[in-house]
Amino acid sequence: MVEEYNLDTNVVTRRAWRCNKQLKDEDKWDVEIGDPQPIYNKEENMMIRENSNQPFISRRITKTNLEWRIRNLPYSIETYSVMADRDSRCLIVRTTNKKYYKKLEIPDLDRLNLIPEQENVSFSHKFNTLIITYKKPKKLVEMEKTILEEIKQVQPKHQQDMNNCKPS
Amino acid sequence: MAAAAAAKIAEVRETTRVERIGAHSHIRGLGLDESLEARHVSQGLVGQVTARRAVGIVLQMVRDGRIAGRAVLLAGQPGTGKTALATALAAALGLDTPFTSMAGSEIYSLEMSKTEALTQAIRKSIGVRIKEETEIIEGEVVEVQIERPATGVGTKVGKLILKTTDMETVYDLGGKMIDSILKEKVQSGDVITIDKATGKITRLGRSFARARDYDATGQQTRFVQCPEGELQKGKKWCTLVWYESRINIIEFIGDTGEIKTEVREQINGKVAEWREEGKAEIIPGVLFIDEVHMLDIECFSFLNRALENEMSPIVIMATNRGITKIRGTTYKSPHGIPLDLLDRTIIIPTQPYEEKELREILSIRCEEEDCQMSDNALTVLTRISKETSLRYGMQLIMTSSLIARKRKAHEVDVEDIKRAYQLFFDEGRSVQFLREYQQEFMFNELDDKDDLEMETN
C-alpha cells in the first residue's frame, strides 16, 4: 500500500494497493483514493472495456468529508438518489431513468467497522459530475489524526531526490 | 436440422470408440464397502482382502489430507497385484486428487540429477486449489454494433450496449472479443456473462422482456430474468492446479529441465501468501513409485529427508524383492530398502492368489479383452496360471482367442489354449529349453561360472 500526503493540508491525496495475481505478473495498482491509474498501450490486447464517455468514479478525501466524483453523468440532479445501505455497508447510487446504478464501498468506514448513516450523505451535480460527500464520523477523524502523527515521523523526500534514485 | 443430425452422428461415434486395453484397465476402484470392508470381487479387483482393506485405510488418510509424509510399502511376489492396488487407489481417489505414478528407474537421466527428478515427482503430487475472484459482466444485450472497414482489411470496431434492470453501459470491444461475439451469435435480447480477464462469453438465455417477440426460437431456448443491480460483478470460483505443473512455470525451467531453487522458493512463498489470505488450499496427493528397489542409496536418504517435510505427499512404494542388495552399496537389506527408511514405512504385504481367485481374474480379463471362453478352457487356463504365472495366463487369453477366430469359432476352447500353450513358451519352459540346448547358443563358454551376477551399479 502506498499513500501520498499533501504536506500543506495533511490530507491523503492518493492511496493505492498493489495487486498482482500471478507469479511474475506486472505490477497492478488498485487505486482507492485519487485519480485512476492511466493504462498505456491498452489498444493492443484489449478485450472489453467501458466506453470512454461512460461514467467513472474517483475518490478523494478532504479534511471533513469523504468524496466521490462520478464523471460523465449528464442527467439532472432530480434523477439521482443516494442511499446508505446498512446491510451491505455501501452507498447505493440509483437513477430514476435506470441508466446508472452503483454500489460504492466505503473502505475507511469498513476498517473501523462503522455502518454508513443516511444523515451524513449529501450530493450535488455540476459539470456532468455527481459529487457525493459523506461527512467523516468522529471516530474516523480521530484515527486519521493518530495515523498522521505516525506518518509525520517519516522523513519526507523531495521530487529531486527521487529522481537521483536509480532503480536497477 | 442438419446440425442436429451431425450432433447425433458424433454421439454414436463417441460410444463405439475403442479404448486401448492395458494391463490394469479393468480396475475401477478398490471395491470396498462403506465400512472399508473389501468385497471379494468388485470394481475389477479380486481377493487380496487384507491388503485392499489396508489400502482403503490409506485412502481415508489421503482424503482427510491432514497427515503428510507417510510412506507405504506394498511388498509381495511378482504378479500378486501390487501395481493393480496402486491403480485402484488412483481410481478411487478420483481426478481431484493428484496422483503421480512413476517407476523407480525413471529417475535416472543424464540431464537431470536423481534428486531433482524425485523432487519434481514429489511436488507434482501436491495440488493447490486456488479460489480466484474474477470480474464478470452480466447483463442483457441491448445492441451490438460491429463495423468492418470498407476496404476489408484493418481492425474491426465494435460496441456493445448491456443493461440490467437498474443501469445501462456502453462497452468498447477488442478484436478478439468481436470474433467471439460473432461466433457465439450474440444478439439483442440475449442475457450473457463475459469474463473480463479471459473474454469468455456465456449465454444464459433470452430475456423475458423479449418473450413476446415472434422470433423463430429453438426448443432449447431458455428465458431468464434480466439481471439486477450492477453490470460488473465479482464472482468466486475454484481452480485446481498441480503444485509444480509444468504449464505454470515452463518459463522458469532451464535447459536441463531442472527447476532452480530460487524459483521453488518463489512458488512456495506465493502459495504460502495465498494460503494466508485464504485464497488457496493445499491438497496433498499420492506419489507411487513402482519397482522401488531400483532407487539407490542416495535417493533413499533423500526420501528420508523429504518425507519429513510437511508439504510432502503420501508416498506409496512397491517392490517384489526379498532380502537383496541396496543399490549403490554392498549391504543387504529387506526389499532392497535401507532399514531406516523401512522403519518409516507401513508395509502392506500381498499374498499369492488362490486358484479360485485366479479363475475370477482370468474371467474378468476375458471380458475386458472381449473374448468368449468356455468353462473347460477357463479351468485349463487357471491351471496353467497356477503352474506358471498369472501374467503368462493372461497372455494366453488374447493369443488363444486369435487362434479360435482362425478356426471360425466364437468361443475359445481347450484346443485353442493347448495350441497357444505349445506356440508360446512360459518362463519355466524357456529356461528348461535353454538348459537342454545351451551348447548350440553363442557365448555359452562364458556361462561356466555359476556365480555370475547381474550388475546393477
pLDDT at B451 > cutoff 60: no
A60 touches chain B (CB under 8 A): no
Total domains, chain A = 1
Pick from A56, A9, A65: which is nearest to A36 by CA? A56
Which of A24, A53, A101 has the CB atom closest to B229's CB atom? A101
Which pLDDT does position B355 carry in this prediction?
86
Categorize the per-residue pLDDT at B222 as very low, low, confident or very high, splitting at 50, 70 and 90.
Answer: confident
Q: Provide the shortest C-alpha distance from residue A48 to chain B (in Å).
A: 5
Mutate which of A17, A43, A48, A91 to disrupt the B interface (most B C-beta within 10 Å)? A48
Q: How far apart are CA A16 and CA A13, in angstroms?
A: 10
Residue A4 C-alpha cell reads as 501520498
Which pLDDT does position B177 carry in this prediction?
87
Which of B166, B174, B248 has the CB atom closest to A48's CB atom? B174
A101 touches chain B (CB under 8 A): yes
Residue A117 C-alpha cell reads as 448513516
Which of B177, B267, B270 has the CB atom closest to A48's CB atom? B177
A45 touches chain B (CB under 8 A): yes
| Number of C-beta neighbours around residue B145 at 10 A | 11
Which pLDDT does position B162 carry in this prediction?
92
Categorize the per-residue pLDDT at A68 as very low, low, confident or very high, splitting at 50, 70 and 90.
Answer: very high
- The β-bridge relationship of strands B280-284 and B71-76 is unpaired
Q: Which residues of chain A are within 8 Å of residue B174 when distances are taken between CB atoms? A: 45-48
Q: Looking at per-residue confidence, does A132 or B148 come out higher?
A: A132
Q: Looking at per-residue confidence, does B41 or B326 come out higher?
A: B326
Sole residue written with cell 465494435:
B158
Q: Does residue A94 contact residue A104 with C-beta atoms inside 8 Å?
A: no
CA distances from B443 to B402, B439, B440, B448 (A): 36, 9, 9, 10
Q: Looking at per-residue confidence, does A164 or A69 come out higher?
A: A69
CA-nearest residue of chain B to A55?
B169
Which pLDDT does position A165 carry in this prediction?
62
| % pLDDT > 90, chain B | 4
pLDDT tens for B337-366 read: 998 888 888 899 888 888 888 888 888 888
Q: How far apart are CA B13 and CA B3, in angstroms?
A: 16
Which pLDDT does position B7 carry in this prediction?
47
pLDDT at B454 > cutoff 60: no
pLDDT at B5 > cutoff 70: no
CB-defined contacts A:B, below 8 A: 63
Which of B166, B174, B249 has the CB atom closest to A47's CB atom? B174
Residue B400 one-letter amino acid: S
The 3 state secondary structure assigned to chain B is CHHHHHHHHHHHHHHHCCCCCCCCCCCCCCCECCCCCECCEECCEECCHHHHHHHHHHHHHHHHCCCCCCEEEEEECCCCCHHHHHHHHHHHHCCCCCEEEEEHHHHCCCCCCHHHHHHHHHHHCEEEEEEEEEEEEEEEEEEEEEECCCCCCCCCEEEEEEECCCCEEEEEECHHHHHHHHHHCCCCCEEEEEECCCCCEEEEEEEHHHCCCCCCCCCCCCEECCCCCCCEEEEEEEEEEECCCHHHHHHHCCCCCCCCHHHHHHHHHHHHHHHHCCCEEEEECEEEEECHHHCEHHHHHHHHHHCCCCCCCEEEEEECCCEEECECCCCEEECCCCHHHHHHEEEEEECCCCHHHHHHHHHHHHHHCCCCECHHHHHHHHHHHHHCCHHHHHHHHHHHHHHHHHCCCCCECHHHHHHHHHHCCCHHHHHHHHHHHHHHCCCHHHHHCCCCCCCCC
Cβ-based interface (< 8 Å): residues of B facing A:
132, 137, 159-160, 163-174, 176-177, 194, 196-199, 229-230, 248-249, 251, 266-267, 270
Which pLDDT does position B141 carry in this prediction?
92
Categorize the per-residue pLDDT at A167 as very low, low, confident or very high, splitting at 50, 70 and 90.
Answer: low
Q: Looking at per-residue confidence, does A30 or A15 come out higher?
A: A15
Residue A45 and residue B174: Cβ atoms within 8 Å? Answer: yes
Which pLDDT does position B372 carry in this prediction?
86
CA-nearest residue of chain B to A73?
B169
Q: Which residues of chain A are within 8 Å of residue B199 when distances are taken between CB atoms? A: 47-48
Q: Looking at per-residue confidence, does A146 or B35 come out higher?
A: A146
| Number of C-beta neighbours around residue B88 at 10 A | 26
Q: How far apart are CA B318 and CA B87, in angstroms?
A: 12
Q: How far apart are CA B317 and CA B291, in angstroms?
A: 7
pLDDT at A88 > cutoff 60: yes
CA-nearest residue of chain B to A56?
B169
Q: Which residues of chain A are within 8 Å of residue B196 when distances are taken between CB atoms? A: 47-48
Q: Looking at per-residue confidence, does B202 or B134 come out higher?
A: B202
Q: How far apart are CA A59 and CA B381, in angstroms?
A: 82
Which pLDDT does position B12 carry in this prediction?
45
- Residues facing A56 on adjacent strands: A71
Residue A98 and residue B249: Cβ atoms within 8 Å? Answer: no
Which pLDDT does position B49 carry in this prediction?
84
Residue A37 included in any domain: no
Angle at A142 (CA atoms; ends A140, A145), nearest 5 degrees: 110
CA distances from B16 to A133, B9, B11, B13 (A): 68, 11, 9, 5
Sole residue written with cell 488362490:
B354
Residue A3 included in any domain: no
A72 touches chain B (CB under 8 A): no
What average pLDDT does this structure show over B74-85? 86
Q: Looking at per-residue confidence, does B416 or B263 come out higher?
A: B416
User: B73 CB contacts (<8 Å, ≥6 apart)?
Assistant: B292, B316, B317, B318, B319, B335, B337, B342, B345, B346, B347, B348
Q: Please determine, for the modelled complex, whether the ipTM score is greater than 0.90.
A: no
A26 touches chain B (CB under 8 A): no
By CB atoms closer than 10 A (0-12, 13-18, 19+), residue A144 is middle
Residue B378 C-alpha cell reads as 477357463
Categorize the per-residue pLDDT at B117 as very low, low, confident or very high, splitting at 50, 70 and 90.
Answer: confident
Which pLDDT does position B70 carry in this prediction?
81
Determine which of A87-91, A153-157, B57-61, B396-400 has the lowest per-residue pLDDT on average: A153-157
pLDDT at B16 > cutoff 50: no
Sole residue written with cell 473502505:
A107
Residue A87 included in any domain: yes
What average pLDDT does this structure show over B81-92? 87
User: B91 CB contacts (<8 Å, ≥6 apart)?
Assistant: B27, B28, B29, B30, B43
What average pLDDT does this structure show over B152-165? 84
A42 touches chain B (CB under 8 A): no
pLDDT at B22 > cutoff 80: no
Q: Provide the shortest C-alpha distance from residue A22 to chain B (in Å).
A: 9
pLDDT tens for B287-332 read: 999 988 888 898 998 888 888 887 788 889 999 888 888 888 888 8
Angle at B268 (CA atoms; ends B266, B271), nearest 5 degrees: 110
By residue range, what is the domain housing residue A112?
52-153
Q: What is the pTM of this model?
A: 0.60
Residue B172 and residue A100: Cβ atoms within 8 Å? Answer: no
Which pLDDT does position B11 carry in this prediction?
46
Residue A21 included in any domain: no
CA distances from B226 to B171, B181, B204, B413 (A): 18, 19, 10, 68
| Number of C-beta neighbours around residue B23 at 10 A | 13
Categorize the per-residue pLDDT at B246 as very low, low, confident or very high, splitting at 50, 70 and 90.
Answer: very low
Residue A100 and residue B249: Cβ atoms within 8 Å? Answer: no
Which of A51, A94, A102 has the CB atom closest to B172's CB atom? A51
Q: How far apart are CA B42 and CA B87, in angstroms?
A: 14
A103 touches chain B (CB under 8 A): yes
Average pLDDT over chain A, rounded to an integer = 83
Which of A23, A53, A101 has the CB atom closest to B230's CB atom? A101
Residue B185 C-alpha cell reads as 451469435
CA-nearest residue of chain A to B169?
A54
Which pLDDT does position A162 carry in this prediction?
64
Residue A45 included in any domain: no
Sole residue written with cell 480477464:
B197
Q: Provide the shortest C-alpha distance from residue A1 to chain B (in Å).
A: 16
Q: Which residues of chain B are within 8 Å of residue A42 when distances are taken between CB atoms? A: none
| % pLDDT > 70, chain A | 84
Q: Cα–chain-centroid distance for residue B216?
A: 45
What average pLDDT does this structure show over B38-54? 84
pLDDT at B185 > cutoff 90: no
Q: Which residues of chain B are within 8 Å of residue A100 when distances are taken between CB atoms? A: 167-168
Which pLDDT does position B14 carry in this prediction?
43
Which of A21, A48, A101 has the CB atom closest to B167's CB atom? A101
Residue A106 included in any domain: yes
Residue A96 included in any domain: yes
Give the domain CATH number at A146: 2.60.40.790
Which pLDDT does position B13 carry in this prediction?
44
Q: Provide the shortest C-alpha distance from residue B74 to chain A (in Å).
A: 39
Which pLDDT does position B1 carry in this prediction?
46
Residue A165 included in any domain: no
Residue A48 and residue B172: Cβ atoms within 8 Å? Answer: yes
Q: How far apart are CA B88 and CA B356, in angstroms?
A: 21
Average pLDDT over chain B, rounded to an integer = 80
